[in-house]
A and B are shown apart, each in its own frame.
Chain A
Amino acid sequence: MTEVTESLEKSRAATFSWYDFATRHRASLAAVVILIFPLVMPFTALAVNILIYGLYALGFNLVFGYLGLLSFGHAALLGTGAYLCGIAIVHFGWPWYAAIAAGVLGGLVMALLIGVLAIRTRGIYFAMVTMALSQCVYYLFYQAVDWTGGENGLRGINVRTIDLFGLRLDFINPMIRYYVIAAFVIAAFFAMSRILASPFGAVIEAVRENEMRARASGYDVTLTRLLTFVLSGGFCGLAGALQALHLSIVPIEILHYETSGLVVMIALLGGMGTFFGPMIGAAVFLVLENVVSVWTVHWQLIVGAIFIACVLFFPAGIWGTLIARGRR
């Protein structure tokens, strides 16, 4: 018996070292991949999209994968970030960095507002309440035509150069644009890694695992959920702000519930509750969309079929399945 456990521990120690190494340096690994990523991609624009949607999914995954709540209203967080960043530039002429800060703040505040109302509900009710509230946000921005451009979207977010301590970067150049956005995304990965490795990160998972036990241990479950939702809003707000800068327009569709559904799909595809899953999900989804839509207009049919196959045969997602294989 002891021999069995010993050999088991030995074999684990052998395979685990890689896994532990990757876990310890997960943010640096993400940084390396992001830095070399555009060099292997056919179009930089696609690479930028993957970064932004990956960041959006990273924030969503904090609530979905780590906290265990299915939110169907994350479009409101992404969209608020995008609109506030855009409004700061278009209507107030703020510099780009202040506009990004406004976007992050917008994501945080919107998450707080939605969170306070929705966080006491569970399961399907949480999904429904968040979706309803995000629809309210959609109509709010849709109606405020003077500020948001309504149906036409918010246009004219023209950031041509990025001033960085006297250094003027040409934001029109796709490669430079990629690396400016990548800098923010990498910073977000480091922040996420820290949050997950913090004492609070342990509380998030404990609440997901067993709410009653967490409460009996002395954790305020409601407050933990709310704080996690707000943190998630910060990441999604940043993704929205970067999207606004990247597209130089905020389309009203960013607040549509399809945007909320998309991120669920990306997280499931990549692997919910894993660190790299969201980014991998975003890459696979957007590349598929790009490749398949070249030869058929019915690309959604094919991507949908692939998605269903993934959920049926790899319920842990692409990255989740790979981790499970690697650990065995």
Chain B
Amino acid sequence: MTAGAAQSSEIILRTKGVGKTFGKFVALNNISAEFCKGKITSIIGPNGAGKSTYFNLLCGAFPPSNGRVEFEGRDVTGLPQHRFAHMGIAKSFQITSVFPQLTTRENIRVGLQALVSRYDIWRPRARLSELVERADELLALVGLWESRERAAKTLAHGEQRALEIGMALASQPRLLLLDEPTAGMSPEETRTMMDLIVKLALERTVILVEHKMKLVLGISNRILVLHHGELLAEGTPQEVRQNEAVKRVYLGQREH
């Protein structure tokens, strides 16, 4: 048991036989996997493989139909979404999701405030000035300091994605979940984003959902391949690339 405990301290997130059905449709079937602390793990697979469903189970957007999710050894299955942020799990959405009318800085500031003050209706929020300072630091980190006073809706697509990452970082997560962070980005924006992800992974665990296999091979420590709601393969990028089953699934598909 002591040996097992020592090993499990390296595991930050674990799913045990999780599945998800929508009506009669089985989106995800019996997936057991472990995610190592401090590493970049990518979840890949063709369209409709169940990547996003699996992602949503990991970040608590909805509960699994069966099985359980453990974060740092704690059962977190079925906890409401907002509790995940407090535990140290943050996510970015596949479809860009920011507060459009608020300024870029206020977007991050609100994200930071969630850890400090949620129901205070009386003290002026200007008193929480340290939040503005930390917001500015995060804005600098994701490269948006110049745009801090602009409404988030006026930012370019790539900038909005970066803002989302900044907002996810605001809750000081130990685990960062990113759902196709480069979706719809230009090659240049994609490169910037990939560099940022590598930088972020120095201080925290990153789990990444990606459609384009080539993109994640270079930066991932481990890769999970999903197909038709099943776990098709798992391993290092090298192993996954040489896996016959993976080759078959991706064969004929245009490699991006």
Chain A residues with CB under 8 Å of chain B are 194-195, 197-203, 205-206, 209-210, 212-221, 223-224, 227, 231
- Of residues 94 through 129 on chain B, the ones whose CB sits less than 8 Å from some CB of chain A are 97-102, 106, 109-111, 113-126, 128
Give the nearest-CB partner of A273 in chain B.
B101
Chain B residues with CB under 8 Å of chain A are 59, 80-86, 90-91, 93, 97-102, 106, 109-111, 113-126, 128, 167-168, 170-171
Q: Which of B59, B111, B116 has the most CB of A within 10 A?
A: B111
Q: Which residues of B contact A197 (CB under 8 A)?
A: 124-126
B110 CB contact (under 8 Å) in A198, A203, A215: A203
**Beyond A206-B110, A217-B114, A219-B118, is A212–B124 a contact (Cβ under 8 Å)?**
no
Alpha-carbon distance A198/B126, docked complex (angstroms): 8
**Beyond A215-B82, A216-B90, A216-B93, is A205–B115 a contact (Cβ under 8 Å)?**
no
Q: Which residues of B contact A217 (CB under 8 A)?
A: 82, 85, 110-111, 114, 167, 170-171
Smallest CB-CB A-B distances: 10 pairs = A218-B85, A218-B114, A209-B99, A199-B117, A200-B121, A215-B81, A199-B125, A213-B97, A199-B120, A217-B114
Q: Which residues of A contact B83 (CB under 8 A)?
A: 218
Q: Which of A199, A203, A209, A215 has the most CB of B within 10 A?
A: A199
Q: Which residues of B contact A220 (CB under 8 A)?
A: 80, 82, 118
**Beyond A199-B113, A218-B85, A219-B114, is A209–B124 a contact (Cβ under 8 Å)?**
no
**Beyond A194-B122, A213-B97, A219-B82, is A202–B170 a contact (Cβ under 8 Å)?**
no
Shortest distance from the beta carbon of B116 to any chain A beta carbon, whole Å: 8
Alpha-carbon distance A208/B214, docked complex (angstroms): 38
Q: Which residues of A contact B125 (CB under 8 A)?
A: 197-199, 201-202
Alpha-carbon distance A206/B162, docked complex (angstroms): 18
B106, A202: Cβ atoms under 8 Å? yes
**Beyond A205-B102, A218-B171, A220-B82, is A212–B93 a contact (Cβ under 8 Å)?**
yes
B122, A209: Cβ atoms under 8 Å? no
Give the nearest-CB partner of B164 in chain A.
A213
Give the nearest-CB partner of B171 in chain A.
A218
Give the nearest-CB partner of B108 in chain A.
A217
A216, B118: Cβ atoms under 8 Å? no
B128, A199: Cβ atoms under 8 Å? yes
Alpha-carbon distance A157/B185, docked complex (angstroms): 67
Q: Which residues of B contact A198 (CB under 8 A)?
A: 120-125
Alpha-carbon distance A223/B119, docked complex (angstroms): 9
Q: Which residues of A contact B114 (CB under 8 A)?
A: 217-219
Shortest distance from the beta carbon of A6 to any chain B beta carbon, whole Å: 12
Alpha-carbon distance A214/B80, docked complex (angstroms): 13
Q: List 17 contacting pairs A-B, 8 Å CB cutoff, sorted by A.
A: A194-B121, A195-B122, A198-B124, A200-B119, A202-B109, A203-B113, A212-B97, A214-B110, A215-B81, A216-B85, A216-B168, A217-B110, A217-B170, A218-B82, A219-B118, A220-B82, A223-B119
Alpha-carbon distance A224/B113, docked complex (angstroms): 14
**Beyond A203-B118, A215-B82, A219-B82, is A210–B123 a contact (Cβ under 8 Å)?**
no
Alpha-carbon distance A182/B177, docked complex (angstroms): 53
Q: Which residues of B contact A216 (CB under 8 A)?
A: 59, 81-82, 84-85, 90-91, 93, 97, 168
A213, B82: Cβ atoms under 8 Å? no
A231, B121: Cβ atoms under 8 Å? yes
Alpha-carbon distance A194/B126, docked complex (angstroms): 11
Q: Which residues of B contact A205 (CB under 8 A)?
A: 99, 101-102
B97 CB contact (under 8 Å) in A210, A223, A227: A210
Alpha-carbon distance A90/B12, docked complex (angstroms): 65
Shortest distance from the beta carbon of B125 to any chain A beta carbon, whole Å: 5
Q: Which residues of B contact A209 (CB under 8 A)?
A: 99-102
B167 CB contact (under 8 Å) in A195, A213, A219, A227: A213
Shortest distance from the beta carbon of A263 to any chain B beta carbon, whole Å: 22
B124, A210: Cβ atoms under 8 Å? no
A221, B82: Cβ atoms under 8 Å? yes
Give the nearest-CB partner of B86 in chain A.
A218
Give the nearest-CB partner of A204 in chain B.
B121
Alpha-carbon distance A194/B59, docked complex (angstroms): 35
Q: Which of B80, B117, B121 has the most CB of A within 10 A?
A: B121
Alpha-carbon distance A201/B106, docked complex (angstroms): 12
Shortest distance from the beta carbon of B56 to any chain A beta carbon, whole Å: 11
Known: A198-B123, A202-B109, A219-B118. 11 other contacts (CB 8 A): A198-B120, A199-B113, A199-B117, A215-B81, A216-B90, A216-B97, A217-B171, A218-B114, A219-B82, A223-B119, A224-B119
Give the nearest-CB partner of B95 in chain A.
A212
Alpha-carbon distance A216/B171, docked complex (angstroms): 10
Shortest distance from the beta carbon of B225 to any chain A beta carbon, whole Å: 26
